[in-house]
């Protein structure tokens, strides 16, 4: 207390500042890598980031999302339309491809890596796609603080980091708590599409979503076998383009597992 009073007497601001522990207690599902950009990516960033990357209020980290954040479709896209959100857009292959196929929808890419976002912007510019915006943000905070309840028509989580070592499983994105965050923003009847090339993680995803009261499996019982009597795997969704990541996983012998869930009313 004496130290605090001494600082006050010296005119030093002693207002308690938020800490990462107070702001977000869950372990991050990602680890930041280098943010250096190639010349082509830098040019794309300089050209498109001012108009296509959301200017979000932050608290602690540069990927945090402050509670006062707002998402105004009319202001961001110049219209209101069905909203598709992709968590972990990587290099933007999937979302740019789909956005070009469905120009009547609005798309929001959520990604933390600057080079990935820059590559997405590059692809977007090359494809002359106008209906994609990007949020550089930690996904759970974005679901909590940016998107309104019952505002999303479709949400994707394709090939999230499997964190395959047991001691790292707590970092996995798909969990009961995360599922509740997704359920809050999805409209009743809204679709959550998931895919992973890590079989053990696929089983965990299915277990989490099967147990959640707000979701039903669109393909319940399909694909059941003696070894896997539950089944419920979705066929490969035609709207998910084959990305370079999935192609490499296939070459390494890892098969993609798809799941599709609907938010119940």
Residues with active-site annotation = 161
| DSSP-assigned beta bridge partners for residue 158 | 195
Structure tokens at 254: 């890892």
Asked if residue 158 belongs to a known ligand binding site, the reply is no
Asked if residue 47 belongs to a known ligand binding site, the reply is no
Q: What is the DSSP string of 114-127?
A: HHHHHHHHHHHHHH
Asked if residue 243 belongs to a known ligand binding site, the reply is yes
Task: Give Rg (Cα) of the chain.
Answer: 20
Asked if residue 138 belongs to a known ligand binding site, the reply is yes
Asked if residue 86 belongs to a known ligand binding site, the reply is yes
Q: Is 248 exposed, middle or buried (0-12, 13-18, 19+ CB in 10 A)?
A: exposed
Asked if residue 71 belongs to a known ligand binding site, the reply is no
Asked if residue 165 belongs to a known ligand binding site, the reply is yes
Asked if residue 101 belongs to a known ligand binding site, the reply is no
Tokens 């494809």, residue?
127
60: Cβ–Cβ under 8 A, 6 or more apart, which residues? 18, 19, 20, 23, 24
List binding-site positions: 86, 111, 138, 161, 165, 197, 243-246
Give the annotated binding-site residues for S-adenosyl-L-methionine.
86, 111, 138, 161
- Annotated binding residues for substrate, written as ranges, equal 165, 197, 243-246
């Amino acid at each position: 207390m004496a130290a605090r009073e001494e600082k006050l007497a010296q005119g030093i601001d002693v207002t308690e500042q938020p800490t990462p522990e107070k702001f977000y207690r869950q372990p991050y599902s990602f680890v930041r890598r280098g943010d250096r950009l190639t010349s082509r990516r830098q040019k794309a960033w300089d050209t498109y980031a001012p108009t296509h990357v959301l200017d979000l209020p932050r608290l602690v980290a540069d990927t945090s999302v402050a509670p006062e954040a707002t998402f105004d479709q009319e202001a961001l896209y110049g219209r209101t339309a069905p909203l598709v959100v992709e968590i972990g857009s990587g290099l933007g292959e999937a979302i740019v491809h789909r956005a070009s196929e469905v120009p009547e929808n609005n798309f929001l890419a959520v990604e933390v890596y600057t080079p990935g976002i820059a590559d997405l912007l590059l692809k977007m510019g090359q494809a002359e796609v106008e209906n994609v915006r990007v949020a550089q943000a930690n996904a759970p905070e974005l679901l909590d603080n940016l998107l309104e309840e019952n505002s999303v028509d479709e949400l994707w989580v394709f090939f999230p980091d499997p964190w395959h070592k047991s001691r790292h499983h707590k970092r996995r994105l798909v969990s009961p708590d995360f599922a509740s965050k997704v359920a809050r923003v999805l409209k009743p009847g809204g679709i959550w599409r998931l895919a992973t090339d890590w079989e053990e993680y696929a089983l965990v995803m299915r277990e989490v979503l099967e147990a959640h009261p707000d979701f039903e499996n669109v393909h319940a019982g399909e694909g059941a076998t003696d070894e896997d009597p539950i089944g419920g795997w979705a066929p490969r969704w035609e709207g998910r383009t084959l990305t370079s990541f999935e192609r490499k996983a296939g070459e390494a012998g890892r098969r993609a597992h798809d799941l599709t869930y609907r938010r119940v009313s």
